Amino acid sequence: MKRPCYVIDAFSAQPLSGNAAGVVLDGAALDGKAMQKIAAELKHSETAFPLPARDPTASLHLRWFTPTSEVAFCGHATLATFHVLVEEAARIRVGQSGVTRTAFTCKSGRLNVELSRDEGRLRILIETPASRFEPLQLPADLLAALGLVPEVLDPKIAPQKSAILEGNLYVAVRDREALARCRPDAAALEGMGKALGVAGYVVYNLNPKPGIGAAMRCFFPGYGIVEDPVTGSAAGQLGVLIQDALPEIMPRRLLFTQGDELGRPGVVEVEVRPEAEPGKVRGWIGGRAVTVLRGELLL
């Protein structure tokens, strides 16, 4: 059977930048093992499979696979999916004015999406799963495995915090140069992650230049990804963390950059919105995307 298959560069309007994701349509007959094999064949950090809706309030169900495992949420592959559904497959219609609101379900629950156009260009905003943080004293050997020394940590973010969701650990450094010098030891980080209960490590620098809320680098040895070019899920969590740690100086709308060290620069738009429950906020992520490959998957 032939299935439409796309490669989308997400969080960038320029081809061969941002983060590439595979998107495979019409996969309702595929089981998880088949999806995993397809993701391993395509070799992108994540491949998305939009499936028929399982909830009457959602337009589709989404599954994402790295080359080695399924994940509960992926930001850039979700952005890529809605780009395909609107701009390539014409399965969701977005007018030239106003906002089209829809939703999808996934392992992380039901999440909302807002679609609009800015001078004709599609803008996608995606609600991310709820974030919860707990204090964590960073072990010295963990810093060494990241290629960092204690002196480069940002004193404004104290204590350092780890994100419970998806098992990401966040480390703030004081300047952009320290972020660029980060040299992770993937094997050591994977071993420490098993002991700490984390699969990913997010190193970031606040306000690296005017107009940019943070620069990020993300390492996911637990998923077989040494470094991810641009990570929407981590950006959404980071927006909530910054809002929580520094509410007096951070706006609710931010731009995060990532991917420069890999030669795939990208920008994630982050909005931090209040929840119905007092004191709770939720991260939303968005940005641009561009199609770099259209084809058919032959199975």
Residue 165 pLDDT level (bands cut at 50, 70, 90): low
Residues 120 and 71 in one domain: yes
Q: Give pLDDT, residue 224.
A: 82
Residues 103 and 214 in one domain: no
- Max avg pLDDT among 57-61, 162-166, 276-280: 57-61
Residues 141 and 230 in one domain: yes
Catalytically annotated residues: 46
CA distances from 46 to 56, 71, 242 (A): 27, 9, 26
Residues 75 and 146 in one domain: no
Residues 45 and 14 in one domain: yes
Nearest of 98, 96, 215, 234 to residue 162 by alpha carbon: 234
- Residue-wise pLDDT tens digits, 173-201: 999 999 999 999 999 999 998 888 888 99
DSSP 180: H
Nearest of 54, 60, 69, 70 to residue 25 by alpha carbon: 60
* 289/287 Cα distance (integer angstroms): 7
Residues 125 and 24 in one domain: yes
Residues 200 and 212 in one domain: yes
Please confirm whether the linkage preceding 50 is cis (ω < 30° from 0).
Answer: no
Residue 222 vs residue 96, higher pLDDT: 96
Nearest of 151, 96, 91 to residue 121 by alpha carbon: 96
Q: Give pLDDT, residue 1.
A: 87
Q: Give pLDDT, residue 162.
A: 57
Percent of the chain at pLDDT exceeding 70: 96
User: Picking from 160-164, 165-169, 233-237, which range would have the lowest pLDDT averaged per residue?
Assistant: 160-164
Number of domains in the chain: 2
Residues 113 and 197 in one domain: no
Quick check: 214 pLDDT over 60?
yes
- Residue-wise pLDDT tens digits, 234-291: 999 999 888 877 776 666 789 999 999 999 999 999 999 988 888 788 999 999 999 9
Residues 267 and 174 in one domain: yes
Q: Give pLDDT, residue 140.
A: 80
Residues 44 and 164 in one domain: no
Nearest of 176, 153, 150, 170 to residue 244 by alpha carbon: 170
Please give the average per-residue pLDDT across 202-215, as a whole number: 94
Instruction: Quote the mean pLDDT of the chain.
Output: 92
Quick check: 163 pLDDT over 90?
no
* 265/283 Cα distance (integer angstroms): 21
Residues 141 and 262 in one domain: yes
Please give the average per-residue pLDDT across 227-239, as a whole number: 95
Domain range for 92 is 2-129+288-298
CA distances from 77 to 80, 177, 205 (A): 5, 29, 24
Domain containing 62 — which CATH number? 3.10.310.10
Please give the average per-residue pLDDT across 75-100, as a whole number: 97
- Residue-wise pLDDT tens digits, 96-129: 999 999 999 999 999 999 999 998 999 999 999 9
* 80/101 Cα distance (integer angstroms): 17
